[in-house]
């Protein structure tokens, strides 16, 4: 445990919450992916879950190593917190966007499917921007996500909306 804490620069026990939450989320995702396989037998699902979990863990650790030098954080464990915010925001923007589209009366039946999906992605992207900053604040990473958001707004060509000199 001491080497784990040292590797992730964890100084206080409450900071262990984020690696644990990340592992549980990764486990849940791995189980859901393993259940999509065309096998119902538990003796196939469990090994598939272990393999998918291992692969996803390696992908996440690789991604953390890649962004570690580019993202400015105080301790390494904060990268896990940032990845959790990205994961929750990505899922939540779709969950919020779909009912919003239905609320304004747009369905696949009354709008051409191509236009429906373009509108759905656009609405989900707008909610993504809002939720990213909001959840970043909830998880104690407001400044990181606010800077990330400003950078994204500039890339969309909307930098004039920021009114910064």
Give the per-residue pLDDT at 165. Answer: 47
- Measured CA to CA, the distance from residue 138 to residue 97 in angstroms comes to 20
Q: In angstroms, rounded to a whole number, what is the distance separating the alpha carbons of residues 90 and 93?
A: 6
Cα separation, 154 vs 157, whole angstroms: 5
126-151 burial: b if 16+ Cβ within 10 Å, else e: ebbbebbbebbeebebeebbeebbee
pTM metric for this prediction: 0.79
Q: Is the pLDDT reported for residue 3 higher than 70?
A: yes
Per-residue confidence band for 21, with pLDDT thresholds at 50, 70 and 90: very high
Model pLDDT for residues 91-138, shown as the tens digit of each residue: 899 889 888 888 988 888 888 888 988 999 999 988 999 999 999 999
Task: Of 77, 83, 89, give the one whose Cα is nearest residue 19.
Answer: 77
């Amino acid at each position: 445990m001491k080497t784990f804490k040292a590797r992730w620069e964890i100084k206080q026990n409450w900071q262990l919450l984020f690696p644990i939450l990340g592992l549980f989320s990764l486990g849940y995702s791995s189980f859901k992916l393993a259940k999509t396989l065309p096998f119902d037998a538990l003796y196939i699902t469990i090994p598939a879950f272990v393999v998918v979990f291992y692969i996803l863990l390696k992908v996440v650790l690789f991604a953390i190593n890649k962004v570690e030098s580019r993202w400015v954080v105080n301790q390494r464990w904060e990268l896990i917190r940032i990845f959790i915010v990205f994961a929750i925001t990505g899922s939540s923007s779709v969950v919020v966007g779909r009912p919003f589209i239905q609320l304004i009366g747009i369905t696949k039946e009354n709008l051409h499917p191509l236009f429906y999906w373009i509108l759905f992605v656009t609405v989900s992207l707008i909610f993504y921007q809002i939720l990213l900053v909001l959840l970043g604040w909830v998880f104690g990473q407001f400044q990181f996500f606010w800077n990330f958001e400003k950078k994204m707004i500039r890339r969309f060509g909307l930098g004039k909306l920021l009114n910064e000199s």
